[in-house]
């Protein structure tokens, strides 16, 4: 394993690290300066140049490396070793890099997030629990969430690359009151950051492309004040670390959030999972309400079993496309929702997700604690 510092990022930088809310109007980059972590000790380790990359396609299309395991017991033991690839580093808007000096990974006890749905009982419409199964391998059988103002639909997000943009480039899900889980490759790819943190906007429960109230129904567009990526993605771009946390501006409104946990491989293999996300605007979706049949920036749902499980990945035939990256794979059981993976890649054989490991779950709990909400508590156990 490479021993390199992990990365919390909040500006567009190039790193070799080894060695409802109304959109703010007319803000400067300094006004949207990176929010620093609220805990931990951080040591300045250097600065990195800014690299602009416009019009970048941020999807991974090749099959991730890794041996498929028919016997998941081989993969079940790969997750209980402290892993420096999940460590964070903070980067400010000037590209200065700060290494977390007091981070300790302890996987002897599993840390997991608990979901929260404020003010109502969570409806189950559009979701499927453990007791059902269906064949999703042939044809497009995704369904569209017609009401994205209800939980859990409103806890899923479309991520846009600019304040005035009308379409998204990636998906994600709230896992805390101001914390959005997405894919690392949505932000950083081929050794460079592909997006500008201060320009990003997050839309909870986006209901079609556009900037109207009906398109951004759950508090409008939210600004991103910090982002966090793991060391392993910055240095290796390994599927094991293809995840990231977006930290939003701190507001009194929350749509609620999903829980997350790391299941063992025996439990995961064959598990039926729900997948909600935003396929690319210009792709075709059978359930689209548009006359042209384009997916159109609406939230779509898929469901089906995990076919293979490795120490790092989950492989399935549940449908997703470009734009779905960063969206959650979650288990809906006993009226609770637990994210078990993050949409990462696709090819003609399988769709691939980064598996929620103990190290990832522990890292996410730590990062959420570094950026608390002043309005809500987050129960990371």
Q: Where are the alpha helices (DSSP H) in 20-86?
A: 73-76
Task: Answer whether 0.85 is exceeded by the pTM.
Answer: no
The pLDDT score that the predictor gives to residue 45 is 61
DSSP one-letter code for 185: G
Structure tokens at 280: 């690319």
191: left (phi over 0), alpha (psi -120 to 50) or beta: left
Residues 117 and 151: beta-carbon distance below 8 Å: yes
Chain centre to alpha carbon of residue 360: 12
Chain centre to alpha carbon of residue 8: 14
Strand partners, 244: 182
Distance CA 239, CA 193 (A): 17
Cα→Cα distances 362→23, 48, 82, 262, 326, Å: 32, 28, 10, 9, 18
Closest CA to 126 of 260, 276, 257: 276
Q: Is the dihedral of CA 324, 152, 303, 259 positive or negative?
A: positive
First vs last Cα of the chain: how many Å apart?
28
Chain centre to alpha carbon of residue 27: 26
- Residue ranges of the chain with pLDDT lower than 50? 1-31, 49-80, 123, 131-137
The pLDDT score that the predictor gives to residue 114 is 72
Distance CA 154, CA 148 (A): 5
Distance CA 337, CA 339 (A): 7
User: Hey, what CATH topology would domain 7-51+58-370 get?
Assistant: Thrombin, subunit H (2.40.10)
Where do the domains of the chain lie? 7-51+58-370
Number of residues in the chain: 381
Q: What is the CA radius of gyration of the chain?
A: 19
Residues 171 and 278: beta-carbon distance below 8 Å: yes
Q: Is the dihedral of CA 353, 359, 363, 365 positive or negative?
A: positive
CB atoms within 10 A of CB 285: 21
């Amino acid at each position: 394993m490479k021993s390199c510092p992990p990365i919390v990022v909040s500006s567009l930088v190039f790193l070799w690290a080894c060695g409802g809310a109304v959109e703010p109007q007319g803000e400067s980059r300094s006004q949207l300066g990176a929010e620093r972590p609220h805990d931990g000790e951080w040591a300045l380790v250097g600065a990195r140049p800014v690299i602009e990359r416009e019009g970048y396609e941020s999807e991974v299309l090749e099959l991730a490396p890794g041996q498929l395991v028919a016997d998941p017991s081989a993969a079940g033991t790969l997750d209980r070793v402290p892993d420096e690839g999940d460590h964070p580093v903070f980067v400010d808007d000037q590209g200065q890099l700060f290494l977390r000096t007091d981070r300790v990974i302890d996987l002897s006890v599993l840390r997991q997030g608990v979901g929260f749905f404020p003010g109502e009982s969570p409806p189950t419409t559009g979701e499927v629990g453990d007791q059902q199964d269906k064949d999703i391998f042939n044809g497009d059988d995704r369904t569209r969430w017609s009401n994205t103002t209800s939980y859990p639909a409103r806890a899923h997000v479309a991520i846009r690359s600019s304040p005035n943009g009308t379409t998204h480039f990636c998906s994600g899900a709230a896992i805390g009151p101001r914390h959005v889980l997405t894919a690392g490759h949505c932000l950083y790819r081929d050794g460079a950051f592909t997006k500008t943190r201060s320009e990003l906007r997050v839309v909870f429960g986006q209901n079609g492309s556009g900037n109207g109230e009906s398109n951004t129904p759950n508090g409008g567009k939210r600004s991103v004040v910090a982002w966090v990526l793991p060391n392993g993605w910055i240095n290796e771009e390994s599927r094991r670390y293809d995840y990231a946390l977006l930290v939003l501006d701190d507001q009194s409104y929350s749509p609620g959030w999903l829980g997350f946990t790391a299941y063992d491989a025996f439990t995961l293999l064959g598990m039926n999972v729900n997948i909600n996300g935003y396929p690319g605007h210009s792709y075709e979706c059978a359930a689209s309400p548009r006359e042209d049949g384009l997916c159109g920036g609406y939230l779509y749902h898929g469901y089906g079993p995990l076919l293979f499980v490795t120490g790092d990945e989950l492989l399935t035939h549940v449908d997703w496309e470009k734009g779905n990256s960063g969206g959650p794979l979650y288990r809906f059981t006993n009226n609770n929702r637990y994210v078990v993976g993050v949409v990462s890649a696709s090819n003609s054989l399988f769709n691939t997700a980064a598996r929620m490991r103990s190290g990832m779950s522990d890292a996410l709990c730590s990062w959420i604690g570094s950026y608390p909400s002043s309005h809500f508590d987050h129960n990371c156990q």
